[in-house]
Amino acid sequence: MTTFDLVVSNARIRQANHLAHLGILGDRIAAISPTPLNGAIEIDAKQNLVTESFVDGHMHLCKVYTYRSFGDAANTEYAAGTMGGAMTGIELASKIKETYHESWIYDNARKAALEAIRHGVLHMQAFVDTDSKAKLEGIKGVMRVRDELKKVIRIEIVAFPQDGLLRDPGAEAFVREAMTLGADRVGGIPWIENSDADAEEHIRRMLELAKKHNARVAMLTDDAGDPSLRTTAMLATAALEHGLEGRITSCHARAMALYPEPTFRRLAALAKQAGMGFITDPHTGPLHLRALDLFDQGQAVGIGHDDIEDPYYPWGRYNFLEIAYLASHLLGAMTRARMEDLFDMITTRAAAAIGIDGHQIAVDHEANLLIHGQADVHEVLNHHEAPQVVISRGKVVAETATESTLFI
């Protein structure tokens, strides 16, 4: 009988209607069995839910924990009403970049990455400001974190020109240098440019750069309450023109919430044709993209954390289940079937949205697993506690115990 390196016994997995025993060899799931297995190390899941680890497709990792030193001005503008002040908010928030330095960004990003791991996030698409104010300070700090923690968490760094390319003429050279230094993905924020022509030029330049580095693209599109914004569609069209189908992700895309129905349907069909993934973060703004409608059409949609205690959003502690719990309210996902959809949007479907292959509990797939403290998706979301055990590539990397004692 095979002795596995690690066995997770008595696991309730979403894909099966019986208890399963997972045998892990090296970094892979080697067996999923209805009968007990032998392991050098054995963890009893005690009939609790075991799922894939969480995937965060959208985190501004260079800005985490800056809220206390910056205050509320930017967030007041960004989140006001229908987001008319989104541009002002971004301009106010960009002031913090005058103080950017690799050393404190490293400290903050590392702290957030450890919280991510503890809460079961083992893949992260991290946006790092790369422009004439931030220069390469964020890129250098976050790259150090990525490289130090790479055996446990995969951080995909997006070189992100937060203030635009044509609006901020110095930004492009820094984005190019960041990609040469080792950033993983090319970013963009076309909606912030002064005209549609500039937005198209912004997208064209960044897609050319992505092709040069054989990199994926992740952009913030239409992140304001203006129904005339069309940069999500522009990005999809450009991806088709540049042969980058299936290599692009659109984040925020909040204007979609205000589109007339025919405009939404045209965009949904175009995005499908372009294989565009979507990441939504309904808790950080009053508007959000139509995640459930896109999900129901089979599109790759994930939920992102977006911010942690920064000028745009005062909360956040990398508790990804808490983010899904908030999303269940904001998206109106309150049925059992929708809870399962939400779970897909923080695991498997989120992975598809940012180009991570094979993120699924299946034989021969990587063993990135969470053992939760409750037995089903409803209870896990309701409690939104850190998983009891986090397994990254076959190794236990975090354990959390939550117990109270009542003296009654």
Strand 217-221 relative to strand 248-252, pairing: parallel
Provide, rounded to whole angstroms, the least separation between the CB of residue 91 and Zn ion: 15
**With CB under 5 A as the contact rule, which of the stretches 7-15, 186-194, 301-309, 395-403 interacts with Zn ion?**
301-309
C-beta closer to Zn ion: residue 51 or 249: 249
C-alpha 362 chain-centroid distance: 22
- From the CB of 306, what's the least distance to Zn ion, in Å? 5
β-bridge mates for residue 370, sequence order: 51, 390
Nearest residue to Zn ion, using CB?
A: 306
Supply the minimum distance, in Å, between the C-beta of residue 223 and Zn ion. Answer: 7
- The single-letter code of the amino acid at 227 is P
Stretch of 61-69, 268-276, 299-307, 396-404 contacting Zn ion, by CB under 5 A: 299-307
Closer CB to Zn ion, 120 or 285, in the complex: 285
364 and 402 Cβ atoms separated by less than 8 Å: no
> Judged by CB under 5 A, which stretch of 94-102, 181-189, 255-263, 300-308 contacts Zn ion?
300-308
Measured from the CB atom, is 31 or 330 closer to Zn ion? 330
Binding segment for Zn ion (CB under 5 A), chosen from 2-10, 289-297, 306-314, 366-374, is 306-314
Smallest distance, Å, CB 308 to Zn ion? 11
Nearer CB in complex with Zn ion: 52/306: 306
Binding segment toward Zn ion, per CB under 5 A, in 100-108, 130-138, 302-310, 347-355: 302-310
Q: For residues 48-77, which are near Zn ion according to CB under 5 A?
A: none
Please give the full DSSP string across 26-84, using - where no structure is assigned.
TTEEEEEESS--EEEEEEE-TT-EEEEPEEEEEEETTSTT-HHHH-SHHHHHHHSTTTT
Buried b (16+ CB within 10 A) or exposed e, 167-176: bbeebbebbb
Give whichever of 131 and 306 is closer to Zn ion, judged by the CB atom.
306
Residue 4: which H helix or E strand, with range? Answer: strand 3-13
What DSSP string describes 118-177? HTTEEEEEEEEE-STTTTTHHHHHHHHHHHHTTTT-EEEEEEE-TT-SSSSTTHHHHHHH
Q: Which stretch binds Zn ion (CB under 5 A): 109-117, 238-246, 254-262, 298-306?
A: 298-306
CA distance 340 to 322: 15
Residues touching Zn ion, count (CB under 5 A): 1
- Stretch 251-290: interaction string toward Zn ion, x if CB under 5 A: ----------------------------------------
Least distance between Zn ion and beta carbon 226 (Å): 17
Task: Confirm or reject binding of residue 193 to Zn ion (CB under 5 A).
Answer: no
Task: For the CB of residue 277, give the shortest distance to Zn ion in the complex, in Å.
Answer: 15
Distance CA 90, CA 88 (A): 5
Longest dimension (CA), the chain: 68
Q: Applying CB under 5 A, does 309 fall inside the site for Zn ion?
A: no
Q: Which of 363, 284, 407 is nearest to 13 (CA)?
A: 363
Which C-beta is closer to Zn ion: that of 115 or that of 306?
A: 306
Which range of residues in 79-87, 150-158, 305-313, 317-325 is near Zn ion by CB under 5 A? Answer: 305-313
Report d(CA 31, CA 33) in Å as an integer.
6
Nearer to Zn ion, 140 or 288 (CB): 288
Among 168, 306, 309, 366, binds Zn ion (CB under 5 A): 306
**Considering the complex, what minimum distance in angstroms separates the CB of residue 52 from Zn ion?**
24
Q: Which residues of 112-123 are buried (b: 16+ CB within 10 A; e: fewer)?
A: bbbbbbbbbbbb
Tokens 């079961």 correspond to what residue?
120
Give the closest residue to 380 by CA, choosing from 339, 408, 338. 339
Smallest distance from Zn ion to CB 14, Å: 29
Q: Which residues bind Zn ion (CB under 5 A)?
A: 306
